[in-house]
Structure 1
Amino acid sequence: MDWLQIVVLSIVQGLTEFLPVSSSAHLILVPVFSDWGDQGLAFDVALHLGSLTAVVLYFRHELVTMTRSWGISVAGRGTDDDARLAWWVLLATIPVALAGLTFHDTIETAMRSPLILAGGLIVFGILLGYADWRHRGSRSEYSMSWVDVLWIGIAQALALIPGTSRSGITMTAALLLGLNREASARFSFLLSIPVIVLAAGLEIVNLVEASIPVDAGDMVLGALVSGLSAYLCIHYFLAFIRRLGMQPFVVYRLLLGVALLWLFG
């Protein structure tokens, strides 16, 4: 790959991994407007590792506190808010992990249609808009019950449908449950950590089994650009929604969905 392809794909992945706009929809559009071929599985692994590094670095203080409290909880020496939040992240990951193992092949083959992408963008975009407009709660991520977390986890499993957006659907569910915008986004970003770990792990297994050659330079550059763009995305997104909410992203999703229908319908 040339440097421009690496940079463009890395920025697209880094931004859309955390914005509620669907990374799959954007990655399918890149080859439409270019003559680039498939970037390959090894490069996908690098992009995921870059995004993972970004979210871990951004929430490093929270993660250290959560991990310490979780360890104390496991040892039976009490459970505080940080320990519960760590347990909630693990609990909410179970539905998407089970759904991914069960429906992975079907999703990869039968559900990659641009029309399905467009439908996911539009339908779940409208739902996000409704949740942000109608359910402006005041709860923090520390106030959730296990039932709340289970609902968010089930919603996260819907992100396997192309066009849904993992961050978008988890934020939608959290808003509907009464969490405020920033809490919804923060919990969604924390949820991305085990999901990206699982996705990257599966890709690495496939990469090893297929004995695919790796271009280390491309992977390092892709990981760096993806990580930097993802880190900046998380930082500015949290500040953005505090002032303007989710509606600009809803409008963008609807326009992108219509564009896909026009291009591929």
Structure 2
Amino acid sequence: MTDVCSSGLDIGFASLDYLQIGILGVIQGITELLPISSTAHMRVVPAVLGWRDPGSAFSAAMQMAALAAVVSYFWRDVRDVVSGSVTAVRERDFSNKWFLLAVAIILATIPIGIAGLALSSVLNACGSPLRGLMVIGVSCLVMAVLMGVSEFTCRHRRTVEQMRLRDALIVGIAQIGALIPGVSRSGSTLTAALFLNFKREEAARFSFLLGLPAIALAGLKELWVLHKAEIPPEAWSHLFFGILVASVSAFFAIWGLMRFLERFSTWPFVIYRAALGIFLIAAVSTGFLQ
């Protein structure tokens, strides 16, 4: 059996078979971009089915699947941000809306970049306490409450075009919460945008666009860490298979989420997160899950 702890890095996914990796890839792809925490599901599903925890390295590397899905779905926005920013710099038109959005994206990435580097040794370590099911359960419950409060108290009228740099910084700070398993990057940034009175579908768009650099950096960093750890070849084949499967499911997750939020509120996600959090807290407290 493959050593699941390589250079102190948890690579539990290497001990799973391709069917298990495929199932986890589908779940990872869906939950990574919905506001329900992919890390929570990467811990809960294997625990319930009696599989080994795939490890934090698996979840982090799967960011590449999320990156592919977000860039594919929001390709026009990504293209306009890049081309518009280049044009703005060339013409010295720093009031250009696409240039301002690019600055906002960079600004929103700084907080999680600093926090991620500071906590990387704890987050990716074998047996990290942050991946405990009780921690994830409490995180799910707290985020359910915050998302519910945002539905009660906010007006949901603003669009991404009305975004200010202050909004980007606030959402960027909220994105730090994604480092805690159970919080969810999508959940934390979407909730912050809702509190800033963005429309639900615009809050999701805002969340995805601002998260692009963070998603890319997290995924690339994890691939580099795995490379430096010299994990076995079979572990790489498992990982790339999982990324491929997750990319497809992540694209359809975005498509479904955007259409859902155009018509409905986030209450189904609030209820789901609360139920998952209560289940985990109860399961750990009674010894049903360890």
1:254 equivalent to 2:274? Answer: yes
User: Are the counterparts in 2 of residues 128 and 250 from structure 1 also a CA contact under 8 Å?
Assistant: yes
Which residue does 2:107 correspond to in 1?
91
Q: 1:3-42, aligned counterparts within 5 Å?
A: 3-39=18-54
- CA 1:100/1:14 → structure 2, altered by over 3 Å: closer, same or farther? same
Amino acid corresponding to residue 105 of structure 2 in structure 1: V
Runs of 4+ aligned structure 1 residues displaced above 4 Å come to: 40-46
Q: Secondary structure at the match of 1:111?
A: helix
Q: What is the Cα deviation at residue 105 of structure 1?
A: 2.8
User: Are the counterparts in 2 of residues 115 and 261 from structure 1 also a CA contact under 8 Å?
Assistant: yes
1:127 equivalent to 2:138? Answer: no
Amino acid corresponding to residue 136 of structure 1 in structure 2: R
Q: Secondary structure at the match of 1:263?
A: helix
User: Are the counterparts in 1 of residues 109 and 214 from structure 2 also a CA contact under 8 Å?
Assistant: yes
Runs of 5+ consecutive residues of structure 1 not aligned to the other structure: none
CA distance in structure 1 between the partners assigned to 2:248 and 2:197 by the alignment: 31
Which residue does 2:260 correspond to in 1?
240
Moved more, 60-69 or 202-211: 202-211
1:171 equivalent to 2:190? Answer: yes
Q: Secondary structure at the match of 2:62?
A: helix
Q: What is the Cα deviation at residue 203 of structure 1?
A: 1.1
Moved more, 213-222 or 111-120: 213-222
User: Are the counterparts in 1 of residues 61 and 223 from structure 2 also a CA contact under 8 Å?
Assistant: no
Moved more, 199-208 or 225-234: 199-208
User: Are the counterparts in 1 of residues 61 and 222 from structure 2 also a CA contact under 8 Å?
Assistant: no
User: Are the counterparts in 2 of residues 91 and 149 from structure 1 also a CA contact under 8 Å?
Assistant: yes
1:149 equivalent to 2:168? Answer: yes
Q: 1:68-217, aligned counterparts within 5 Å?
A: 68-75=83-90, 77-79=92-94, 80-108=96-124, 109-215=128-234, 217=237
Moved more, 159-168 or 217-226: 217-226
Q: 1:49-64, aligned counterparts within 5 Å?
A: 49-64=64-79
Q: What is the Cα deviation at residue 15 of structure 1?
A: 0.8
> Which digits, 9 at most, give the CA deviation of each residue in 1:126-168, with x for residues without a partner?
1111112321321111211111111111111122122111111
Q: What is the Cα deviation at residue 233 of structure 1?
A: 0.4
CA distance in structure 1 between the partners assigned to 2:129 and 2:249 by the alignment: 31
1:223 equivalent to 2:243? Answer: yes
> Which digits, 9 at most, give the CA deviation of each residue in 1:92-121, with x for residues without a partner?
011111111122334453322211111111
- Identity, % of aligned positions: 39
TM-score with structure 2 setting the length? 0.85
Q: What is the Cα deviation at residue 21 of structure 1?
A: 0.7
Runs of 5+ consecutive residues of structure 2 not aligned to the other structure: 1-15, 286-290
CA distance in structure 2 between the partners assigned to 1:220 and 1:209 by the alignment: 17
CA distance in structure 2 between the partners assigned to 1:204 and 1:170 by the alignment: 24
Moved more, 242-251 or 40-49: 40-49
Q: Secondary structure at the match of 2:34?
A: coil
Q: What is the Cα deviation at residue 172 of structure 1?
A: 1.0
Q: What is the Cα deviation at residue 257 of structure 1?
A: 0.3
Q: What is the Cα deviation at residue 34 of structure 1?
A: 2.2
Q: Secondary structure at the match of 1:190?
A: helix
> Which digits, 9 at most, give the CA deviation of each residue in 1:188-225, with x for residues without a partner?
11123211211112212211211112336534432221
- CA 1:168/1:45 → structure 2, altered by over 3 Å: closer, same or farther? closer
Amino acid corresponding to residue 123 of structure 1 in structure 2: V
